[in-house]
A and B are shown apart, each in its own frame.
Chain A
Amino acid sequence: DAGVIQSPRHEVTEMGQEVTLRCKPISGHNSLFWYRQTMMRGLELLIYFNNNVPIDDSGMPEDRFSAKMPNASFSTLKIQPSEPRDSAVYFCASSFARGLRNRSPLHFGNGTRLTVT
């Protein structure tokens, strides 16, 4: 299994530009999560999907952030317009959940390091 695949690994952009981060979850997983990691705040949950449906986006910092999951094998996180304070490492993670107590461990991708200048 290739694991959770994220692209790009690094993104450097100028303030005001649109940024799109991509994620391919592990095949068969039905839950997908976007986290952001910074030194100050640690790992913060931005949004998560179950069966391609967004369940909770309360962690999305502002309307500049949006996420989609058009199918079970692909998700995007978009920032438009980007700002320097968005600089962080963004992680996608996936798991399989069947019922309330039957859930596989969370598997993370290797992240996208975003730098907004």
Chain B
Amino acid sequence: QQQVKQSPQSLIVQKGGIPIINCAYENTAFDYFPWYQQFPGKGPALLIAIRPDVSEKKEGRFTISFNKSAKQFSLHIMDSQPGDSATYFCAARNSGNTPLVFGKGTRLSVIA
């Protein structure tokens, strides 16, 4: 059973565009929602994270939007650059000492 559903699988945008990656979850006990960025040959690395007590969090060009009632959250990348080309994973976990569950990933290509 996939606990976090991520879309799209792949995304191509022009430099300067704003790619948006979406995730949906079912488990209302989830209370921590990170996004991870993975470059080829590397492990995923934490990019930005949000808790459900806020609806938006921004760090540099990366923004998470969170909709608790819809059980959805999304990643926006402002002014995207070719260096942002990577695979992005959303994830979630609850407040217990439990592991993260990951979405299947979105392969983003930013073309110049």
Contact = CB atoms under 8 A, between A and B. Distances in A.
Given A43-B89, A93-B43, A103 B97 contact: yes
Which applies to chain A's interface (DSSP): helix, strand, loop or mixed? Answer: strand
Interface residues of B, number: 20
Given A45-B99, A48-B99, A97-B97, A108 B43 contact: yes
Contacts, number: 48
A24 to B, nearest CB: 14
Contacts of A91: 43-44
B12 interface: no
Given A105-B34, A105-B49, A43 B44 contact: yes
A31 B99 CA distance: 9
Interface stretch (B16-24, B76-84, B102-110): B102-110
7 contacts: A41-B104, A45-B99, A97-B97, A100-B96, A101-B95, A103-B97, A107-B45
Interface of A: 4, 31, 33, 35, 41-43, 45, 48, 50, 56, 91, 93, 97, 100-101, 103, 105-111
